[in-house]
Amino acid sequence: MISDDKFKKAREVFLAHGGLMSTGEALNSGIHPRDLYALRDSGQIEKIERGLYRLSDLPPLSNPDLVPIARKIPKGVICLISALHFHDLTTQLPHEVYVALPRNAEAPRLSYPPIRIFWFSGKAYSEGVDEHTIDDTLVKIYCIEKTIADCFKYRNKLGHDVALEVLKGYFSQGKRKVDRILYYAKICRVDRVMTPYIEALI
């Protein structure tokens, strides 16, 4: 049983981290392993994912899929269908979270949520990354224009109709950042594929 004083101190540490901490973060912040597991067993913190805990009396996470991924896969960038869903550019509800990783990264071990990994390299991985704060957690997500280019790059896996629908949806929302789209299209080596569709829409 953890004492009230230790619980109060542990709670303060959790709150300083947005109420969500990995086991390593908790131990490095001075919470004893015995106290961490006592907090878990008493229901004062809840297990979000293996090695990831959150204060149980906080409001539910607004995005329970993206937050654990951001905390457990620091090199991961939300991409493709999941990024489209975040940017409100698709009506599809992804059954997996689409995550981009650099080719030299180690494959992540995550029991929840289900993820689908895409291996990117060079500028195709590093360019167009936006950072969004969700539930006090920094989540990396590709910007709209980079995501559109990625959809054309992976059109054989996602469907050519998906890529076209996304591009049409982008222009129908009044967005006209053609230079940005073409910039990322060149990085993804799909500029020749995309240019005729873009010219038809502008």
Determine, yes or no, domain membership for 163. yes
- Which residue in the block uniquely carries the two structure tokens 């990117």? 120
What is the CA 3 to chain-centroid distance, rounded?
36
Q: Give the C-alpha separation, 170 to 126, whole Å.
A: 22
Claim to verify: residue 91 and residue 185 sit in the same structural domain:
yes
Q: Give the C-alpha separation, 73 to 55, whole Å.
A: 21
Containing structural domain, residue 137 = 66-201
DSSP state of 58: S
H or E segment to which residue 19 belongs: none
Q: What share of the chain is helix, strand, coil (3-state, %, to 5)?
A: 45, 20, 35
| CA 136-141-144 angle, 5° bins | 130
Cis peptide before 113 (omega within 30 of 0): yes
Q: What is the mean pLDDT of each run of 10 residues along the chain (202 residues)?
A: 75 80 82 84 79 78 77 92 90 84 84 86 96 90 97 93 91 84 96 90 80
Claim to verify: residue 105 and residue 176 sit in the same structural domain:
yes
pTM of the model: 0.75
Neighbours of 196 (CB within 10 A): 9
Strands 45-49 and 52-55: antiparallel
Determine, yes or no, domain membership for 70. yes
User: What pLDDT was estimated at residue 10?
Assistant: 81
Claim to verify: residue 96 and residue 169 sit in the same structural domain:
yes
Q: Which residues of 45-83 are buried (b: 16+ CB within 10 A; e: fewer)?
A: beebbeebbbbeebeebebebbbbbbbbbeebbbbbbbb
Claim to verify: residue 95 and residue 189 sit in the same structural domain:
yes
92: left (phi over 0), alpha (psi -120 to 50) or beta: beta
Q: How many domains does the chain have?
A: 2
Claim to verify: residue 90 and residue 179 sit in the same structural domain:
yes
User: What pLDDT was estimated at residue 13?
Assistant: 83
